[in-house]
Structure 1
Amino acid sequence: MDFDFSDDAKALREQARKFFDERAGPAVARASMNGDATFDAQLWQAVVDLGWTAARVPEAHGGVGMTSEAACVLAEEAGRSLAPIPLAQALAATEALIALGTPEQQARWLPGIADGSVVAVTGWAEGGTASPAKASAKVDGGAITGTKSPIADLAAATIAIVSAGGPDGPALYIVDLTGEGVGIAAVDTLDLVRRHGTLTLTGAAADALGSAAGYHDWLDRAAILGSFEAMGTATAAMDMAVAYAKERTAFGQKIGRYQGVKHKCADMYIKLELARAHALHAAWAMEAGAPELRQAASAARVASLDALAFAAEENVQIHGGIGFTWESDCQFYYRRNRALVAALGSRNFWADRLVRSLEQRNAIAA
């Protein structure tokens, strides 16, 4: 079976890569890190004008109506470019509304996401918890109380789709951030390019989005998008390391000629290709609604985190002492690695989820 993307998706990837190569990258990331703005508003408006926020939105709601492949390639290119914009969050929120939203909810929010007037983010974390399967925030009579932190791109957001506990486990709720009972504050994280925030909800109006089972289905979809974002960042880190190995001279020759450095670069490539195979399988499962979606999503999440962690760390090592300095761009990929690891639950959570899904599959087969 061929899990590769369609020609349309490949064309979108080429367009996105060319755009982000011209408009984003380490230089823009450094400017964002050193600046006071919460996100790059000009870059975000350009992305909206290109129709990428509308890519997954159905035509009936003012979107383009593309398949989930489009969201995957856009997430990958956004990750590769380190773009300081809420695109990855918007894609995850759109997926939640498409998969779980009622016709009324979709009609209310999707047109705004498509035209950029609504910036949507998602949030499940509550401080130190590593498991998205738990939530301390509670909903009573349509009002939500609790704290979600950290949430990437929160300061730029109009609505937040957050998890809250219920009798059957956590479920998703839509919160209008312009309403009462909403508090937003900046929070420091290791990622200095994509700003994060703390969302404090005190009896804020919350609109239920699907069920507890639907929440876990969305987690699988968000994990797939996150795996492509991680692969994009890993690819950029690997490319940076290989380029440096080709130009850095030590003891009279390029360091890329040393066997130890060659092995590091080869291992980065192998881990990345393994992650890509898992991610492509997961993307197919998401689009096809295949029964192995949870297994494929979990495997893609684990493999992509492994590839990113290895590439980000080895990129620093190959650069040697300069790789640890503030002036080096290596830090951006290492920092983003740590942020993406925490963005949707720990690696251990997803490894356990993979094992559970395999056990369930084997039990059914037996």
Structure 2
Amino acid sequence: MDFRLTDDQRALRKGARALLTGRFGREALRAAADREGRVDRELWRELGRAGFFALRLPESEGGVGLGLPEAVLLFEEAGRVLLPGPLVATHLAAGMVPGAADGTAVVTCGSQLAPFIQHFEDADAVVMLGAMPGAVIVEVRAAAAVRSLDPLTPLHRLPHPPPPAAPPVPAVLLTAAEQLGSAARSTEEAVRHAKARVQFGRPVGAFQAVKHLCAEMLVRTEVARAAVYAAAAVPGPAEAAGAKLLADDAAVRNARDCLQVFGGTGFTWEADVHLHLKRALLRARMWLTASQAEEMNAQALASAL
């Protein structure tokens, strides 16, 4: 099997990057942090018009008719810019919740971070996706706000948490793709700073310790990329779990190493590095934790013996 991207997939990724960097650059990111992660409805509708949410819907249902590999490319780009909002839930709800496909509705999910729910105040619908494809739309009138680690992801506590259920494979993979995008961006920012920051008359990137950090960040990113792309091409619960395990590790550790490369400036509010770390830590708790992913892979290996 050839895992290389096709010309159409590369064009899709290029277009998504141009859209997101143009519409959600650093100023927009900071504005989103100032409004505590509230969804930008205009941008959400623009994403809908671009086919972000309807990408995997059949053309007969008004969708784009593409597959999970293409969706992974889009969500990787969303992770690069730290785009806020319940992207995975709205994408999965396309075709099920009116308005989700075209971005006129914001859909969140009650099982992403049980017993917490993301972007509750912005949501037009709450969907329990744990039992896909038998997902149901539920009415949640009230939920208590809780303090979120990530200033771009407001959280609420559900009054009645959903029962445990196996997470949908697409949800796990798309979240892993967001983590992959964040890991790649942290690597790029660390390299950029290492080239520009001068200490003792030399760029800090000339020092061996910093070189090692950047090299390790790149290795983690590319290993995670291979796992996420492969799992998208041949999806399965164990494959998705392995991909998310590697992507979570890459996103969290790369953000931490990026902080080390930046030094003291990386811990200030003016830097964006800490936002990648906080989002990576939060996403690592979504759908599958590291221990759950390890258990799924262990069971898959044991059953193959």
Instruction: Look up the match of 2:127.
Output: 161
Shift of 1:90: 1.7
The corresponding residue for 2:21 is: 21
The corresponding residue for 2:218 is: 269
Which has the higher mean CA deviation after the structures are superposed, 45-54 or 252-261?
45-54
**Which runs of structure 2 are paired with 1:242-261 in the superposition (5 Å)?**
242-261=191-210
**In 2, are the aligned partners of 1:78 and 1:88 still within 8 Å (CA)?**
no
Partner of residue 282, structure 1: 231
Matched letter for residue 175 of structure 1: I
Cα distance between partner residues in 2 of 1:75 and 1:37: 18
Q: 1:348 aligns with which of 278, 285, 291?
A: 291
Give the residue type in structure 1 aligned to 2:185: A
- Residue of structure 2 equivalent to 1:97: none
Q: Distance in 2 between matches of 1:174 and 1:29?
A: 32
| Residues 171/6 of structure 1: CA separation in 2 closer, same or farther (3 Å cut) | closer
Quick check: 2:107–2:126 contact (8 Å CA) kept in 1? yes
Amino acid at match of 2:153: R
The SS at the match of 1:200 is coil
Other-structure match for 1:194? 153
Is this contact kept in 1: 2:46–2:103, CA < 8 A?
no
Q: Which residue of 1 aligns with 2:7?
A: 7
Q: 1:276 to 1:163 in 2, by over 3 A?
A: closer
Asked if 1:175 corresponds to 2:137, the answer is: yes
Query: Aligned letter for 2:155?
Result: H
- Structural mapping, 1:1-366, within 5 Å: 1-35=1-35, 38-94=38-94, 106=95, 109=96, 112-124=99-111, 148-162=114-128, 173-177=135-139, 182-201=141-160, 216=166, 218-286=167-235, 293-362=236-305
Aligned position for 1:103: none
Q: State the secondary structure of the residue aligned to 1:65.
A: coil
Give the conservation status (yes or no) of the 8 Å contact 2:110–2:128: yes
- Letter aligned with residue 235 of structure 1: A
Q: Summarize the Cα distance change of 1:171–1:16 in structure 2 as closer, same or farther, 3 Å threshold.
A: closer
Shift of 1:281: 1.1
Relative distance call for 1:255 and 1:298 in structure 2 (3 A) is same
Alpha-carbon deviation of 1:201?
4.7
With over 3 angstroms needed to count, the CA separation of the structure-2 counterparts of 1:343 and 1:82, relative to structure 1, is: same
TM-score scaled by length of structure 2: 0.91
> How big is the shift at 1:16?
0.6
Alpha-carbon distance change, 8 to 171 in structure 1, aligned in 2, over 3 angstroms: closer
- Higher strand fraction (1 or 2): 1
Q: Which has the larger radius of gyration?
A: 1
Provide the residue aligned with 1:102 in structure 2.
none
The change in CA–CA distance for 1:33 and 1:172 in structure 2 (over 3 A counts) is farther
Q: In 2, Cα distance between the equivalents of 1:119 and 1:344?
A: 19
Q: Distance in 2 between matches of 1:36 and 1:233?
A: 19
Kindly state the Cα deviation for residue 268 of structure 1 after the two structures are TM-superposed.
Answer: 0.3
Whole-angstrom distance in 1 between the partners of 2:133 and 2:14: 36
> Percent identity over the alignment?
31
How far residue 326 of structure 1 moved from its aligned partner, in angstroms, is 1.7
Deviation at 1:330, TM superposition (A): 1.2
Secondary structure at the counterpart of residue 142 of structure 2? strand
| 1:226-274: CA deviation from partner (whole Å, max 9, x where unpaired) | 1111000111111111100000001110000111100100000001111
Equivalent residue for 1:101?
A: none
Displacement of 1:297 after TM fit? Answer: 1.1
Paired residues, number: 304
**Which residue is 1:136 aligned to?**
none
- Give, in whole Å, the separation in 2 of the partners of 1:56 and 1:345: 23
Which deviates more, 34-43 or 273-282? Answer: 34-43
Alignment partners' CA distance in 2, 1:351 and 1:313: 22
Cα root mean square deviation, aligned = 2.5
Matched residue, 1:209: none
CA distance in 2, matches of 1:67, 1:338: 28
Does the 8 Å CA contact 2:36/2:153 hold for their aligned counterparts?
Answer: no
Instruction: Report the CA distance between 1:37 and its aligned residue.
Output: 6.4
Q: Deviation of residue 125 (structure 1)?
A: 5.6
